[in-house]
Amino acid sequence: MRDHTVVVGFGTKGRAATQAACATGLKKEQVVVIDPSAKAVDAATAEGYAAVLGDATRSEILKRAEVQRAKRIIIATQRDDTAVLVVLTARQLNRGATIVAAVREEENAPLLKQSGADEVITSAGAAGRLLGLSVLSPAAGLVMEDLIRRGSGLDVVDRPVTRAEVGRSPRDIEDLVISVVRGHRVLHYDDPAVRTLELTDRVITVVPRAAPENRRDPQR
């Protein structure tokens, strides 16, 4: 297997991440799950994913999932210290893969970055911010929850700029643009650097669920 996605941890976070990625267009046969729990591995295989039983902090287990040939690695372990070890080991085996890791505590996020993660999601912090927003503005909380639950109404979509959009302002295209990806930089929609869109840009947009033509293909 090559250019596949490895998911480390198939608990609530790992399962949700995998389902969200597949809802975006990732094929199930391009996913390999690693989990130390036989029950979790059985659940993953029942849902159509390849799965490896074992401790992902060990390089031999990661190699069984062919991490060295993976394009993406999602790390959703139960413990932050385990996540750090998995990131370190995975990065040693694969220098080019995109590694996204979840941590419970925000104070551990910099350590994950230093270990080799490209992106770090703080689960406890994100949940706390959503709680705070919801108690002050239930309507705003509902909108955010809708965005998080992909396919339930509004979706956040990463897609390439179309030829018809080249030369136009992010504010002037049909979709609601929240960010522009230019090269390796993610820029706010009103950043002076992205006054006009270029053909090589990507846009992060908020679209209704009934707009499948705007969804990206993660296999590209």
Domain locations along the chain? 5-126, 153-214
Inform me whether the pLDDT recorded for 147 exceeds 90: no
Its pTM stands at 0.73
More confident residue, 143 or 218: 143
The distance between the two most distant Cα atoms of the chain, rounded to a whole number of Å, is 53
The dotted CATH code for 153-214 is 3.30.70.1450
CATH 3.30.465.10 fits 5-126, yes or no: no
Give me the mean pLDDT over the 136-150 stretch: 71
Which residue has better confidence, 151 or 30?
Answer: 30
Residue 184: per-residue pLDDT: 84
Cβ(103)–Cβ(121) below 8 Å: yes
Q: For the residues 48-62, what does the mean pLDDT come to?
A: 97
HSE at residue 133, side-chain half, CA atoms within 13 A, is: 13
Q: Which conformational region is residue 44 in: left (phi greater than 0), alpha (psi within -120 to 50 degrees), or beta?
A: alpha
Residue 125: predicted pLDDT: 64
The answer to whether residue 210 scores a pLDDT higher than 70 is no
Residue 151: pLDDT above 70? no
Degrees, nearest 5: CA angle 74-41-92: 35
**Mean pLDDT on 145-159:** 72
pLDDT at 93: 97
Per CATH, 5-126 and 153-214 having the same topology is answered: no
